[in-house]
Amino acid sequence: MKVTRRAASLGGLGLLAASAITPAKAFDEPFVDPFEGEGDFWLAVEAYIYGYALVTMEMTRRVVTNVEKPVGSKGPMGHMIKLREYPDASFTDVTAPNADTLYTTAFIDVGKEPWVFSFPDMKDRYFLFPMLDGWTTVFQVPGKRTTGGDAQTYAITGPGWEGTLPEGVTEYKSATSLVWILGRIYCTGTPEDYKAVHALQDECKLVPLSAYGKDWTPPPGKVDPSIDMKTAVRDQVNRMDAVEYFTLLSELLKTNPPTSADAPMVEKMARIGIVPGKDFDKSKLDAHFIKRIPEIAFGRIMLHFKFSDGDVKNINGWGFTTRTGIYGTEYLQRALVTAIGLGANRPQDAVYPTSLKMSDGLFSRSYDGSNNYVITFPKGQTPPVRGFWSITMYNEKYFFVENPINRYSISARQDLKPNPDGSIDIYIQNKTPGADKESNWLPAPAGKFVLMMRLYWPDDSPPSILDGSWIIPAVKKV
């Protein structure tokens, strides 16, 4: 990954334009690089982007696990967190949450010993249990697509662990001590299906290897009152200055080591005081950079969404990437996915087309609830998947939107009504389109909003979003 001065600076301008100056003023005036010739500044920007996923994962872990016992979307380390119903508009723990599956999740530390995770026979129900390491790499994905629906048991081992596992237990090795099991089980949302999925969730088990086969109860968690439980994690990360950020990153590198492929980045980071296994040496960072590094770096991350050198395709106003879950040295791509969709799956499991604006000829206009919109799927051309598809409504910060029917996503489970020609219209608007069309209504806020489509287990043969043979219809203003 190469972060150019021009690109990073424009990213910072993007943030300023959103809050302080108009875009026209920003680009009418000549741009002056305030850090021209300061190589260490741009190196620090690269380091910030490199560490963004790991820092965000840790801050997410702190918020999610800072409770005495599992409640709602939170639970202590080593406890299974079982969401019993879809999140609502008050949920801000993770950006771009899912309203199609019930999450069954856990944060674990496999640095001291492995943890054993098992789940029951899921029969024909769609599910997956992606396992993310501290860098957000999806290193394993047991589930309907990959391992079938039978009952299974896995031991998740940490870096450097060697030993013997019980018979019938398959090893999954994590490159880091921090692991997030981010399970999803499909649910229609009816009382009957909630009950069925709850029974499956209750049969999912998680124990340390030393307790496997024994009667074991996870200990209660310890609550740290200093942890901010109200501010969204992304905002907590973004408001850190460079010293706070790099101090935390250096601490995390002690138990979540870089990969061998990260060696060139590790060598460069040493110049600004970041050395894996050691505390951050802030004396090597120019004090003048402390506030500007996060601003410029995060601007560069978000700029990648628009100018991504092919990482993000734009079809009819829908931007999406098939480069999620496994990133290698694509640090900018990893940071972007972390910022707008932490916990994203591998593309074979899910693709997330996102639409920020409506394409209108030569122009693009942000979606706004003062207008009505429609997306039409021609007959037989709904998203081609072997799992399920949906369209989710978010506000401009990628969180759910309150609405009178408590509907945050729309999919085939709403019993969509087709038109006489077999096509299907999805009505995207603030007010109800009428009782006869409400089954096809995705409620919008009064102001700006963002749309995200989910294609779980997309078809790998045409028509398919993976090879571009299925084309997403454009959202049109009514």
For residue 355, what are its two tokens? Answer: 């639409």
Q: Please give the CATH superfamily to which domain 67-211 belongs.
A: Domain of unknown function DUF1254 (2.60.40.1610)
* pTM listed for this prediction: 0.85
- The pLDDT tens digits of the residues spanning 461-471 come to 999 999 999 99
- Which fold, 315-477? Jelly Rolls (2.60.120)
Query: From the CA atom positions of the chain, what is the Rg in Å?
Result: 23
pLDDT category at 340 given cuts 50, 70, 90 is confident
- The pLDDT tens digits of the residues spanning 320-336 come to 989 999 999 999 999 99
Average pLDDT over residues 84-91: 87
Give the angle 125-171-124 at the CA atoms, nearest 5°.
10
- The pLDDT tens digits of the residues spanning 299-317 come to 999 888 777 766 788 899 9
Average pLDDT over residues 215-221: 95
Compare 3 and 223 and report the one with higher pLDDT. Answer: 223
Question: pLDDT at position 16, please?
Answer: 23
Query: CA-CA distance, 417 to 412, in Å (whole number)?
Result: 10
DSSP-assigned states of every residue in 423-476? -EEEEEESS---GGGGGGEEE--SSBEEEEEEEEEE-SSSS-TTTT-SPPPPEE
Q: The domain 5-59+232-300 is classified under which CATH number: 3.40.50, 1.10.3470, 1.25.40, 1.10.3360? A: 1.10.3360
For residue 348, what are its two tokens? Answer: 């074979």
Q: Domain spans of the chain?
A: 5-59+232-300, 67-211, 315-477
Query: CA-CA distance, 281 to 275, in Å (whole number)?
Result: 9
Helices (H), 69-123: none
For residue 153, what are its two tokens? Answer: 């048991």
